[in-house]
């Protein structure tokens, strides 16, 4: 399992590093980039193990390849209708696939987000798009991250000789991150950041136990995870960097305690290694974002900082006050809603573990919910986890394990209360880590009552996080129906004399244009329909025929049948 995780992570890290080198010499994205990255990952894996390589690794290499292909195919089954996905993510992937070189070229119509933002997912997706020809196949990265989290957690716990129930429950809880599950069928990258930051922390924990985990393997996992994490979003570099600094300081303290005369040399060596990793993450792997931003705009994180910086938070925030602590509390302990500055309603507080069906049901499938974005029961689960952590830490033996728990808790709490956007779930992977820490402590204690509490906490977490899975059949239907609509429109165009390839392109562009109008204008679909239906025109005539044939009713019945089937599964 560990080899599979290494191969999947190494492939993505190799892909961004390969891209940096090829972009530098003027070579654009092509179909062979992905297989070449996988080959580099295989070579890196063999290099980690040296003479320890045996025939079982061949099966794991094959398994990793099959998992990668399977997840790419699954991603293609879902049509991403999200705002961000269609506003700039798909644009960036398409531009890269069509030859855009971010080190040398201006993205043109792609705009500032495409130019400035981190590009690891876009480059990886463009390589897939170049192979399959289907843009929707280009978004398997969050699913890959979820698989890696489950596998590495299971291996980590097994190596620490935890029982099977512990291993399976905790591995599932770690993998089923609610933000990742909600975004795994879209081009959004926040869920991917959540799972990758978790992989960074697990890699750091592995490094702390060289007697259990081979140090070379642990370091390689940290390097791959951090290179990817730091190039998903700017916050990925910040969060991953803070955890790395915290563990570096912890190691320095251990060196000092072990040998007060010769502690400085190992600290300097480790510090140099972390500095090298940061340099590779930013200036090699991140050359198409951090370096180009610095050269063109004199700041690493343009367009969020520097000249012409854009404030993306104020218009999206549902809060009029700048009180970070109050906003965080309201966001965690309110009904699930998607409220922004332009909304005419305010968050409504609720009792933990309660659910307001009428208010919250329509947001259960939300990709980017602002209020109570971790789920309808998460506030209660978080309270239980906090109580468990306090009680267990008080009773724990004050050994190295205790201080590692405390270190991770302090980092998570520091980020929670130090980052003012912590009210928004998509930006706060560290809050979910607090719940995982509570779950780990309850499952790790042998007392029956405590273990039962841990299992109950896990069941509540699965119920809270797994709601989104009920909507997957509905998402599949939506993608299937859109494809059928595009095919029908194209068939009609071919019947009128248009070439088949051009007909598909025009039909798909019509659907995409309509979706973008709904997402970008915020107007009611009926209002948009009225805007394009001129008197006695072609569009209103087409609408008349659709109404005559019962199109609207058919769609409603199909959606109802899909929802009913989903509930019965």
DSSP-derived 3-state class of residue 531: helix
pLDDT for 356 equals: 84
Predicted local distance difference test score (pLDDT) of residue 80: 85
For the chain, the first-to-last Cα distance in angstroms comes to 30
Distances in Å between the Cα of 26 and the Cα atoms of 103, 284, 285, 563 are: 8, 15, 16, 49
How far is the C-alpha of 124 from the C-alpha of 304, rounded, in Å? 23
Q: Which helix (H) or strand (E) is 466 found in, with range? A: helix 448-466
pLDDT of residue 553: 61
Residue environment code for 195-214, b if the CB has 16+ CB neighbours within 10 A, otherwise e: bbbbbbbbbbbbbbeeeebe
Q: Are 182 and 451 within 8 A, CB to CB? A: no
- Find where tokens 């998570």 sit: 412
- HEC string of 68-92 equals HHHHHHHHCCCCCCCHHHHHHHHHH
Residue 445 DSSP code? S
Tokens of 311: 């404030």
Peptide bond into 8 cis (omega under 30): no
Residue closest to 328 by CA, chosen among 390, 263, 289, 373: 373
Q: In terms of residues, how long is the chain?
A: 569
Q: Which residues pair with 337 in a beta bridge?
A: 371
Question: Would you say the C-alpha torsion 498, 501, 505, 511 has a positive or negative sign?
Answer: positive
| Residue partners of 93: CB distance under 8 A and separation at least 6 | 122, 125, 126, 129, 135, 138, 187
Query: What averages of pLDDT result for each successive group of 10 residues across the chain (569 residues)?
Result: 91 96 94 95 84 75 94 90 85 92 83 90 96 92 96 93 90 94 92 96 94 90 96 95 96 90 90 96 94 92 86 80 88 88 82 85 81 91 92 86 92 93 91 94 83 88 85 61 71 79 71 62 65 71 68 59 54
Residue ranges in 212-263 assigned as alpha helix (H): 215-229, 234-258
Whole-angstrom Cα Rg for the chain:
25
**Residue 169: CB partners within 8 Å, gap ≥ 6?**
439, 443, 454, 455, 458
Task: Specify the 3-state DSSP secondary structure of 300.
Answer: coil
- Give the span between the Cα atoms of 229 and 288, in whole angstroms: 15
- CA atoms of 440 and 454, how far apart (whole Å): 8
Burial grade of 397 (CB within 10 A; 0-12, 13-18, 19 or more): exposed
Closest among 434, 337, 431, 329 to 392, alpha carbons compared:
434
Count the neighbouring beta carbons within 10 Å of the beta carbon of residue 348.
14
CA distances from 256 to 348, 399, 447 (A): 51, 16, 36
In 3D space, the residue among 246, 274, 204, 188 whose CA is nearest the CA of residue 415 turns out to be 246
Q: Provide the sign of the torsion angle of the four alpha carbons 414, 418, 423, 429, taken in this order.
A: negative
Query: How many angstroms separate the Cα of 366 from the Cα of each of 46, 242, 340, 371, 471?
Result: 42, 29, 14, 11, 10
Contact 64, 90 (CB under 8 A): no
Reduced DSSP (H G I as helix, E B as strand, rest coil) percent helix, strand, coil of the chain, to 5: 70, 0, 25
φ, ψ dihedrals at 371, nearest 5°? -100, 130
**How many CB atoms are closer than 10 A to CB 466?**
14
> With 0-12 CB in 10 A as exposed, 13-18 as middle and 19+ as buried, what is 375?
buried
Q: Do the Cβ atoms of 382 and 431 come closer than 8 Å? A: yes
């Amino acid at each position: 399992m560990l080899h599979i995780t290494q191969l999947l992570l190494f492939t993505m890290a190799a892909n961004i590093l390969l891209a940096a080198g090829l972009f530098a010499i003027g070579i654009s994205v092509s179909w062979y980039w992905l297989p070449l990255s996988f080959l580099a990952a295989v070579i890196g894996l063999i290099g980690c193990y040296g003479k320890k390589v045996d025939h079982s690794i061949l099966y794991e290499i094959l398994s990793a390849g099959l998992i990668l292909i399977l997840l790419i195919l699954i991603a293609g089954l879902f049509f991403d209708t999200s705002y961000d996905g269609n506003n700039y993510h798909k644009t960036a992937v398409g531009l890269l696939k069509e030859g855009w070189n971010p080190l040398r070229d201006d993205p043109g119509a792609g705009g500032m987000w495409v130019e400035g933002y981190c590009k690891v997912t876009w480059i990886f997706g463009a390589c897939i798009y170049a192979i399959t020809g289907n843009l929707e196949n280009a978004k398997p990265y969050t699913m890959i991250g979820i698989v890696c989290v489950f596998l590495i957690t299971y291996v980590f716990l097994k190596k620490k000789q935890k029982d099977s129930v512990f291993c399976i429950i905790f591995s599932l809880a770690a993998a089923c991150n609610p933000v990742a599950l909600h975004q795994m069928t879209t081009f959004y990258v926040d869920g991917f950041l959540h799972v990758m930051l978790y992989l960074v922390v697990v890699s750091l924990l592995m490094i702390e136990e060289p007697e259990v985990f081979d140090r070379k393997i642990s370091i390689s996992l940290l390097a791959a995870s951090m290179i990817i994490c730091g190039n998903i979003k700017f916050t990925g570099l910040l969060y991953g960097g803070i955890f790395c600094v915290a563990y570096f300081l912890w190691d320095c303290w251990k060196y000092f305690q072990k040998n007060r005369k010769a502690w400085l040399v190992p600290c300097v060596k480790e510090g140099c290694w972390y500095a090298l990793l940061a340099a590779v993450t930013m200036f090699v792997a991140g050359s198409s974002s951090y370096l180009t931003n610095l050269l063109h705009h004199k700041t690493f994180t343009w367009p969020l900082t520097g000249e012409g910086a854009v404030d993306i938070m104020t218009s999206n925030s549902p809060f009029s006050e700048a009180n970070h602590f109050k906003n965080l509390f309201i966001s965690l302990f309110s009904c699930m809603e998607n409220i922004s500055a332009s909304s005419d309603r305010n968050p409504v507080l609720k009792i933990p573990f309660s659910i307001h069906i009428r208010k919250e049901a329509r947001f259960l499938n939300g990709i980017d919910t602002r209020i109570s974005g971790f789920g309808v029961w998460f506030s209660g689960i978080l309270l239980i986890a906090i109580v468990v952590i306090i009680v267990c830490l008080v009773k724990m033996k004050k050994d190295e394990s205790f201080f590692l728990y405390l270190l991770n808790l302090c980092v998570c709490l520091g980020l929670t209360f130090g980052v003012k956007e912590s009210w928004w779930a998509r930006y706060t992977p560290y809050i979910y880590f607090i719940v995982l820490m509570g779950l780990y402590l309850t499952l790790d204690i042998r007392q029956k009552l405590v273990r039962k509490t841990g299992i109950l906490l896990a069941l509540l977490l699965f119920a809270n996080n797994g709601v989104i899975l009920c909507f997957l059949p509905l998402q599949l239907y939506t993608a299937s129906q859109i494809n059928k609509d595009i095919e029908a429109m194209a068939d009609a165009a071919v019947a009128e004399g248009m070439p088949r390839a051009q007909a598909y392109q025009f039909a798909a562009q019509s659907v995409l244009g309509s979706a973008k109008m709904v997402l970008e204008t915020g107007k009611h679909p009926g209002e948009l329909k009225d805007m394009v239906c001129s008197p006695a025109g072609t569009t209103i005539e087409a609408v008349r025929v659709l109404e005559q044939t019962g199109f609207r009713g058919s769609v409603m019945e199909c959606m109802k049948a899909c929802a009913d089937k989903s509930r019965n599964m």
